[in-house]
Structure 1
Amino acid sequence: MQRTGDLEGNLSRLKLNLRSICFPGHFNDAGIRLGLPTSILPILNFVLTKASRIVASEISVHGFELTGKTDARFVQTAFKLFREHFHLRSGLTIAQFLQEGYAERKICLLLSVIERCKACHAEGRRKV
């Protein structure tokens, strides 16, 4: 898990990581600084379902369905995925993730998830 205490540094790392995975969406800097779920959820959705077919397939094979869900159900399933498959513990509850605030913790969670997804993608490419 990434460290808190450096919002600007973590925000810069997030931007770099999103560029490296070709995030096509709008990066709402102000919304992310406020911890708005409407700014964070599209990024999380892209990372888990669209950035890599290998990762999306791996997630699906392990029984985690992330598409066609409400925001609350998506986050609930994503957190279960983080715990059970990525062995990643969030410093946030689902309720905290879905409300405004906790910006730096959300950014750190996104950074950790991107890191795990990149590793999963690399491992999947080695298997092929």
Structure 2
Amino acid sequence: MKSAIVKTGDIKNNIRILQSLVQRAGFKDRIDYASIAKGIPTAFLPLLHFLLTEYSVELSKYLLDNGFEFFSKNDLRFIEETFKVLRKIFNYKPTISIDQFFTVGFSERKVILTCDLARICIDKNKELTRYLGIVCAIN
């Protein structure tokens, strides 16, 4: 999957897109957009945790069934697992490395990564719930 946001250099607009996507996904906690704009890694972690573990029971189960587990991991292991899921399950190549993710900076690349993950999770959840609806209707 290619990034839906291909333009860098417009961090404010990309943050607005991020706001819209996390709201659409139902993220209720406070988001520190000032830290996100600076590229502080810990500002992104709650969003990524939410998308992969809390957003959808079906998605979480799907990832677990495919051998990916996100609980009881430190931040480094969590991001390593996130990048593996993006590459192996969703055929998505992050535009930053894990080392860059944990470096202050690279804010726009981190915003784009988070936006893309949100879109991927939303789309996969739709696919899974549609499939479950069909299976339930057949049974």
TM-score range, shorter chain: over 0.9
Unmatched segments (≥5 aa) in structure 2: 133-139
Match of 1:51 in 2: 55
Shift in Å at residue 83 of structure 1?
Answer: 0.3
Work out the CA distance in 1 between the residues paired with 2:72 and 2:122: 24
Output the TM-score relative to the length of structure 1: 0.97
Shift in Å at residue 33 of structure 1?
Answer: 0.3
Shift in Å at residue 102 of structure 1?
Answer: 0.4
Structure 1 segments of 4+ aligned residues over 2 angstroms from their partners: none
Match of 1:115 in 2: 119
1:94 paired to 2:92? no
1:65 paired to 2:65? no
User: Which residue of 41, 65, 71 maps to 1:37?
Assistant: 41
Unmatched segments (≥5 aa) in structure 1: none
Shift in Å at residue 105 of structure 1?
Answer: 0.2
Q: Percent identity?
A: 31
SS of corresponding position for 1:12: helix
**Greater Rg, structure 1 or structure 2?**
2
Match of 1:26 in 2: 30
**Amino acid of the residue matched to residue 6 of structure 1?**
D
Shift in Å at residue 103 of structure 1?
Answer: 0.4
Work out the CA distance in 2 between the residues paired with 1:68 and 1:25: 21
State the number of aligned residues: 128
Output the TM-score relative to the length of structure 2: 0.89
